[in-house]
Structure 1
Amino acid sequence: MSQHVLVPVDGSRSSRAALEYAREQFSDARLTLLYVVDPMTDYSRQRAYPGYTADDEYKSEREKGEDILDSVRETLPDDVPVETVLEAGPPARVIVQYADDHGVDGIVLGSHGREGPIRYLLGSVAEDVVRRAGVPVTVVRGLSDD
């Protein structure tokens, strides 16, 4: 029976590094690419920037997620068994819940490697996933300029 590996993606270099690591280390595994739409992102952007319109780049975070999943999927060879999923909610909670609900054998995710006060202000999805996941988690450190 093949393994099922969850790879959360957000379009960053660190998430691409995590996907590459997953492909190298789990070459026979079925991959699920998960983009988590944080519902607070659009709201925060609109509140922080009066006059902001979502037309600037994407109409919504959901559209952005779909675009990222499509572009990441296109980088994989056709023979790689992969599924793409878009979910909404707090990222760490959604990642752990998805792994629990879908019999995932492991999670490979990227870390932006933030340190100091910015890490405490923004939080660390990777750290939360490591603490809460019921399966092994591999954190891949990406390049610092995500």
Structure 2
Amino acid sequence: MTAHVLVPVDGSAAADTALEYAHEQFPNAGLTLLYVMDPMADYSRRRSFPGYRDDDEFTNEREKGELVLENAIERLPDDASIETTLESGDPADAIVRYTDDGDVDHVVIGSHGRKSVARFLLGSVAEAVVRRSVVPVTVVRPDE
């Protein structure tokens, strides 16, 4: 029996599909929605926009993460058992680290379905999580 499912969310259609799948397949499990803040996003903003201070390092990414988590919660019924968390760092590393540290039984993750060169250049968070996770991982693609 699966009691705790981790669902990484990023606001994409793939993540939304994974969230719906997790709720349908594990209706009695507690869901933890994880948003990973990318510190490089703020670094590039700091370099691109004068006046962006070091004090603001995660402000924009944090706000984005909070909004993504709020929107994800709204997609689920009110009676769903949901927790949310924000982590920072490389998405695959943060997901695997949370899985290792938390009491997670299963991960349901969306995949953008990139192919060939794009996948090689951009990497695949889902693929890295599948390779490194100590718990079962289900990869879900968005509806075509």
The TM-score by the shorter chain falls in which range? 0.7 to 0.9
The Cα RMSD (Å) is 2.1
Q: Which residue of structure 1 lines up, in the alignment, with residue 124 of structure 2?
A: 124
Deviations 1:81-118 (A, max 9, x none): 00011110110010011011111000000000001111
Distance (whole Å) between structure 2 residues aligned to residue 115 and residue 52 of structure 1? 37
Q: Which residue of structure 1 lines up, in the alignment, with residue 26 of structure 2?
A: 26
2:2–2:26 CA contact under 8 A, matched in 1? no
1:112–1:143 CA contact under 8 A, matched in 2? no
Change (3 A) 1:69 1:51: same
Runs of 4+ in structure 1 over 3 Å off: 44-47, 50-54
How far is 1:30 from its partner?
0.3
Following superposition of structure 1 onto structure 2, how do residues 130-145 of structure 1 map, counting pairs within 5 Å? 130-143=130-143
Q: Normalization by structure 1: what TM-score?
A: 0.87
* 3-state DSSP of counterpart to 2:34: strand
Deviations 1:51-105 (A, max 9, x none): 5888xxxx61111000110111122111100001111011001001101111100
Q: Which residue of structure 2 lines up, in the alignment, with residue 8 of structure 1?
A: 8
Alignment gaps of 5+ in structure 1:
none
Identity %: 61
Q: Which residue of structure 2 lines up, in the alignment, with residue 104 of structure 1?
A: 104
Alignment gaps of 5+ in structure 2:
53-58
Distance (whole Å) between structure 2 residues aligned to residue 121 and residue 33 of structure 1? 27
Distance (whole Å) between structure 2 residues aligned to residue 45 and residue 121 of structure 1? 22
Q: Which residue of structure 1 lines up, in the alignment, with residue 72 of structure 2?
A: 72
Q: Which residue of structure 2 lines up, in the alignment, with residue 89 of structure 1?
A: 89
